[in-house]
Amino acid sequence: MTAIATALAAVVGDERVVRGPVDAYVKDETETRLIVGSCAAVVEPRSTEEVAAVVRWAYEHEVPVVPRGGGTGYAGGAVPFAGSVVVSLAKLTAFRRFDPELWRAEVEAGVTTHLLQRRARENGLLYPPDPGAGEQSHIGGNIATNAGGPHAFKYGTTGAWITGIEAVVPPGEVITIGGAITKDVAGYDLKHVLIGSEGTLGVITCAWVRFIPAPEARHPVVGLFPSTATGVEAIEAMVGSGVAVAVLDYLDHGALAAAPPAFADGDVAERVGFALLCEADGTAVEARSVRAAAIAVVEECGGLAVAPLDASGVAAVWRWREGMTGAVTTVRGGKVSEDIVVPLDRLREAIDGTHAIGDAVGLPACSWGHAGDGNLHSTFLVDTSDPDQLRRAEAGAVALFDLAVELGGSLSGEHGLGLVKSGQLERFWAPRKLELHRGIKTLFDPKGLMNPGKKQ
């Protein structure tokens, strides 16, 4: 045990300090970019009070604190630096309240996204945010990254479903903001300062979440198009026509090469250059009507619509979408992916620009993502055993940030800045805006010990 681990054992009890290898706590999904950290200790508190005791001790002894959820982040936000304490929220898993008849719950930060979705579903409700790694990701991590997902197009990102937050902030105090209320304009919106703060302002220990009644029916509509141009035209037509789909995702030809739509006719799958994935939901009547309207838009734009209604066909479509990340990663063994976001009318330029950057750095490129939100997962495929490929991919990532900003967009739509985009704000933000941003950090965390080096 390190001296820090021994000291923390005295603060919160020996059994709260993780013994043995801590490898699983020093990395996240950026491991595919060979990013792995190290730390002095890992603690797993069982209560908010224990989290507060750890933060208090760390603040007093000037030891950095890195909050950790499920470790599914794509930005290296949960990757610690040497000498820091990782505070894992994995053991804070209580539903403090679950009030389905009032469409709300109060859940601790370590509850997984899937468990919350399931409890809602079992009670005829919907918790709409659906970031892709829900079996593993925590509600605390979802809030800390303001995670999105396919259904964010209709329902918004995690932050839209959070009515209150309990957090431990430096130097170790527990605060609550909002609660079981759906409106609150007393004071500045501190809740949304913590939402998406990536563990740099405090440790989220509990949240009040809201639900809505579950839609009666959900039907996928896949549109297969010969080219990016026709596919993007269909995206704009879908939005412009007012067809209220819940999901409006896309896959470009590079992504389709890694994950062909096997559920479609074989010949079609080989010829397809762009795909759209929509979902129609609502009452049974509404869902059928939106489905028909979405199919009509796809066909009017020259696409082929595949819209299964049977359970196995629907499952095959979602398996395809959810397997996307894994399929792309296996092509070369690794990937460098950035989740840039642009205004919807610049999407085509961002998709084409991703390929142009891939050509410039000599790496295969592709993108997929949440078309309706203008949010791309722009990706370069790499063999991680080749340092030169990794270096070129990282250069490509920086070029992607330039592209996003040039198109009127932003560096990150959902994964956050974390470690991988550290230093990028300075390249793009005006001095006064940066000063305000840093001022908020200093106010919460005057010693700069909360997840240092991230979100800057």
Ligand X SMILES: Cc1cc2nc3c(=O)[nH]c(=O)nc-3n(C[C@H](O)[C@H](O)[C@H](O)COP(=O)(O)OP(=O)(O)OC[C@H]3O[C@@H](n4cnc5c(N)ncnc54)[C@H](O)[C@@H]3O)c2cc1C
Half-sphere exposure of 231 (CA within 13 A, CB side): 28
Least distance (Å) between residue 184 CB and ligand X: 20
The one-letter code for the residue type at 60 is E
Contact residues toward ligand X (CB under 6 A) are: 28-29, 66-74, 77-78, 89, 109, 131-133, 137-138, 140-142, 144-145, 147-149, 198-199, 203-204, 325, 414-415, 418, 451, 454
Nearer of residues 142 and 389 to ligand X, judged by Cβ: 142
Least distance (Å) between residue 455 CB and ligand X: 8
> Could you give the C-alpha distances from 377 to 249, 362, 404, in angstroms and in order?
11, 18, 12
Nearer of residues 69 and 260 to ligand X, judged by Cβ: 69
Q: Which residues of 325-358 are buried (b: 16+ CB within 10 A; e: fewer)?
A: beebbebbebbbbbbbbbebebbbebbbbbbebb
Nearer of residues 390 and 417 to ligand X, judged by Cβ: 417
CA distance 201 to 290: 42
* Residue (of 311, 319, 238, 245) closest to 278 by Cα position: 245
Nearer of residues 50 and 233 to ligand X, judged by Cβ: 50
Nearer of residues 67 and 231 to ligand X, judged by Cβ: 67
Least distance (Å) between residue 244 CB and ligand X: 20
Question: Do the beta carbons of residue 337 and residue 396 sit within 8 Å?
Answer: no
Length of the chain equals: 456
Nearer of residues 87 and 297 to ligand X, judged by Cβ: 87
The residue nearest ligand X at its CB is 141
Least distance (Å) between residue 389 CB and ligand X: 21
Quick check: helix, strand or coil at residue 406? Answer: helix
Nearer of residues 203 and 248 to ligand X, judged by Cβ: 203
Nearer of residues 204 and 243 to ligand X, judged by Cβ: 204
Least distance (Å) between residue 89 CB and ligand X: 4
Nearer of residues 288 and 447 to ligand X, judged by Cβ: 447
H/E run at residue 192 = helix 190-194
CA distance 147 to 302: 33
Least distance (Å) between residue 128 CB and ligand X: 12
Least distance (Å) between residue 205 CB and ligand X: 7
The residues, any chain, with a CB within 8 Å of residue 195's CB and separated by 6 or more, are 143, 144, 146, 158, 159, 162, 165
Least distance (Å) between residue 167 CB and ligand X: 7
Helices 387-406 + 347-361 axis angle, to 10: 150
The residues, any chain, with a CB within 8 Å of residue 423's CB and separated by 6 or more, are 456
Nearer of residues 392 and 421 to ligand X, judged by Cβ: 421
Least distance (Å) between residue 401 CB and ligand X: 18
DSSP for 70-90, please give it: SS--SS-TTPPPTT-EEEE-T
**DSSP-derived secondary structure letter, 138:** B
Least distance (Å) between residue 59 CB and ligand X: 15
**DSSP-derived secondary structure letter, 344:** G
The residues, any chain, with a CB within 8 Å of residue 92's CB and separated by 6 or more, are 45, 46, 47, 48, 51, 108, 109, 110, 140, 205, 206
Question: Do the beta carbons of residue 332 and residue 364 sit within 8 Å?
Answer: yes
